[in-house]
Amino acid sequence: MKILAVDIGTGTQDIFLYDSNLDIENGFKLILPSPTMMIHRRVKQALLSRTPILLTGHQMGGGPSAWAIEEAARAGISVYMTPSAATTLNDELDKVESLGIKIVSEDEGRKLSAADKIELKDFDFELISKTFNDYGVSLQDLGAIAVAVFDHGNAPAGVSDRQFRFDYLDERIRKHNSLSSFAFLSSEIPKIMTRLQSVADSSVDLPCPLVVMDTAPAAVLGANFDPIVANRKCKIIVNVGNFHTLAFRLGDGIEGVFEHHTGEINLPKLEKYIRALADGSLRHQDIFDDMGHGALVYGTGPFKFGQDDFDIVVTGPRRSMFTAINDRQLNPYFAVPFGDMMIAGCFGLLAATAEILPDVTEAVNRSLRSVPRHGVAPWDNPL
């Protein structure tokens, strides 16, 4: 049985093909440019040639793609977007038009023969399948596909998308208190999570069920499969991503979380927030007013550092922030689940998929248990 896990970030899309007939370390892996970086490059090419641009498709991750699209519009290039594609920039389409971008219907778009047509979508199964096929590996016998993206949610007009996301996180944690509760079968995605829904909408005719999940809980859940991390019940796991940094305090479930923009913080500031998360003094406004997303604290007692030979667990592509030994105060442990930090999110996707789809539960859990561990393991204290 095979499962394709795809963790889509700002810099890269990290792909893991799980095969129950292989040791998990032998699964095929791809670390490729993220879809938003691919669109960024396409738009920049059109900008150099002064070619009009038509963007169709679905809502997808912004950041680099959005910056390039806005730059093209400012440079006087004719930029057209269909309504669904335009939500990549803003859910309020009048704000997209205020950037100098023209919103056109699908029919109008088909008449723009001179424009460079670019389709927006986070997950391109056809392209990934072709890549594997070129190496003689078929993806037509999959038992499931699991995809992670970061979703702010569709905030109502006048409501901060940062605040809206944290209201959503709060609701999920209070109701389920589980990292895997941020994963959904494609038919059960909350209506407000429009980017997750766009992944499902752009993934027609798949050969198997589709599970979608938020990238942040996926990375933290995956980091728990490092044997050293699994040995500690109470821990703070920090995921330093290319665009977002988050820290989860874990003990009896989820005891707290904060989320910030990586570009807005340095190591001293990050460690200050981690200490506040640990002692329970961190407040939502501390992060929100610093241009971050926010914070939630549920734990009633303080988390004590120095319980082991490390203070915090660190993962993510920008984890090198913690390698400045002279500047840091907290002693980090760099998680390497199954020997590979870059696909921690894929392992989290696998664990969540095993909870959602009974047909894959036994095989996946058997594989995730395959590395010898001591003490409390993720499956003994599921998050």
- Residues 191-212: pLDDT tens digits? 999 999 999 999 988 999 999 9
Per-residue pLDDT band for 142 (boundaries 50, 70, 90) equals very high
**How far is Cα 337 from Cα 230, in angstroms, rounded to an integer?**
10
Give CATH for domain 227-335. 3.30.420.40
The answer as to CATH 3.40.50 being correct for domain 36-120 is: yes
Segment 29-70, tens digit of pLDDT: 999 999 999 999 999 999 999 999 999 999 999 899 999 999
pLDDT score at 327: 66
pLDDT tens digits along 303-349: 888 666 789 999 999 999 998 766 678 899 999 999 999 999 999 99
Strands 294-297 and 312-315: unpaired
Give the pTM: 0.93
Domain with CATH 3.30.420.40 in the chain: 227-335
**pLDDT surpasses 50 at 377:** no
In the chain, which segments carry CATH 3.40.50?
A: 36-120
Query: How many Cα atoms are found within 13 Å in the side-chain-facing hemisphere of 243?
Result: 17
For residue 307, the model assigns a pLDDT of: 65
Q: Please count the other Cβ atoms lying within 10 Å of the Cβ belonging to residue 23.
A: 11
